[in-house]
Structure 1
Amino acid sequence: MQEQLNNPLHGKRLDTIIEHLVSYYGGWEGLGKRINIKCFNENPSMKSSLTFLRKTPWARQKVEELYVRIINKR
């Protein structure tokens, strides 16, 4: 448990992270401009995004890094 104290992603679900990013950037279009991933730019939905990000480690890493940058600005 001690190891996770400084991990901002600990306990965060991927869908919660995506919802936060979509809200922060004013919708899927805004998020798609920050991270150029097809699931954010072509018929975006939570389901398609979750499916893609769970199967694609490099894309998930980009999403998680963006989320951490945002929450560290606070």
Structure 2
Amino acid sequence: MILTLPYETLLRYVYNELPPDEQEEVEQHLLHDAELATACADLLLAQRTLDDLCQVPSARATANVLAYSRTFLAAG
């Protein structure tokens, strides 16, 4: 693949961190470079997969941590 954009720029595009003019530039590159578009699609899939794996603690676990910290601070 001939990367016509810096990899960092492509990552910033995937995470919606580019100003509108740079975003438009990336989209133009994606329209004309199939390999770059494939790389972008792979990054978007990886991002979605990682987002799906993100877990948050249960409400009970959070309450336990907060209760412990209050006890610890009160004993301080």
TM-score (norm 2): 0.41
Q: Which has the larger radius of gyration?
A: 2
TM-score (norm 1): 0.42
Higher helix share: 2
